[in-house]
Structure 1
Amino acid sequence: MKFFEAEATIYARSSTVWDIITDDGNYTVWDSGITRIEGQVRNGGTIRIRTRTGGNRTFRLRVQQIPGELMTWTGGMPLGLFNGVRTFTLSPHGGKTHMRVTEEFSGPLLDLMWRPAMGQDCTGYINAVKERAELIG
């Protein structure tokens, strides 16, 4: 298993941060690391994304949410050959938000699918959310 995490204190309300990370129409506008997104980032929904580090691969992910607090994107290959889960956690602190993003990858094909840049995606993403939220908020 490979595990990565990034966290930041964002000087914006948690509702602002939540609006940014669930606004599927604007993911490609700000520097999220996502180059294409189809579907809706909503509880029980399915999205298809392409990332800068994923090349031409499209990832199909299931979205689960506790609105304003927690969201997971889960995807993988059949038979559990490769699985990935990205978890977004928001904790309000006054007018600020503590945001934590974790990524967990597992499965027998992990070593074949693994790219070192996958862990950098997590840090880049959270920094981009912070920049956008503080600009807007």
Structure 2
Amino acid sequence: MHSVEAETLINAPSSTVWDVITDARNYTVWESGIIHFRGELRDGGTIRIRTRTGGNRTVRLRVQQLPGEVMTWTQGLPLGLLTGVRTFTLERLGGMTHLRVREEFTGPLCGLLLREFASDTQQAFIEYVNAVRKRAEILGRNPQTTGS
């Protein structure tokens, strides 16, 4: 198993943070690291994304949610050769929110394929949680602001 994670404390209510990480329409507008997004971020949904660091490769992910608390995006190769599960966890801390994003990779090809991508993936996660924090704190101060 191989995993990467990043976390941050956000000066915004968890509902605002949840709105940011589940707003599929705007993922490519803010600095999420995602440059193409298609699908719906809903429980049982499927999304297709392309990331800034992934080149032209589009990844298909299955979405599961416990609204306001946890969301997972799952991808995998056939026969369980490689499976990745990205988990977004929100924890309320007074008027603030602790956001943790963790991805665990399992399967026989895990070590072979992921060794060279570990530092890039870790950096992308750090940039993602920082971008969520920035967007949620702006939206939290200006709740009437929607869209970009």
TM range (shorter): over 0.9
Unaligned 5+ residue runs, structure 2?
141-148
Please list, as runs of the form range in 1=range in 2, the aligned pairs for 1:17-28 lying within 5 A after superposition: 17-28=17-28
Quick check: 2:2–2:111 contact (8 Å CA) kept in 1? no
SS in 1 for 2:16: helix
- In structure 2, what is the equivalent of residue 50 of structure 1? 50
Q: CA deviation at 1:45?
A: 0.2
Quick check: 2:69–2:91 contact (8 Å CA) kept in 1? yes
Larger mean CA deviation between 7-16 and 101-110 belongs to 101-110
Q: CA deviation at 1:10?
A: 0.2
- In structure 1, what is the equivalent of residue 89 of structure 2? 89
How many residues are aligned here?
Answer: 137
- In structure 1, what is the equivalent of residue 124 of structure 2? 121
Quick check: 1:4–1:119 contact (8 Å CA) kept in 2? yes
Q: CA deviation at 1:5?
A: 1.4
Quick check: 1:103–1:122 contact (8 Å CA) kept in 2? no
- In structure 1, what is the equivalent of residue 10 of structure 2? 10
Match of 2:134 among 123, 131, 135: 131
Letter in 2 for 1:135: I
- The answer to whether 1:108 aligns with 2:105 is no
Q: TM-score, normalised by structure 2?
A: 0.88
Q: CA deviation at 1:111?
A: 3.7
Residue-by-residue CA offset, 1:29-77 (whole Å, 9 max, x unaligned): 0000111010000000000000111111111100000000000000111
Q: TM-score, normalised by structure 1?
A: 0.95
SS in 2 for 1:19: helix
Q: CA deviation at 1:112?
A: 4.2
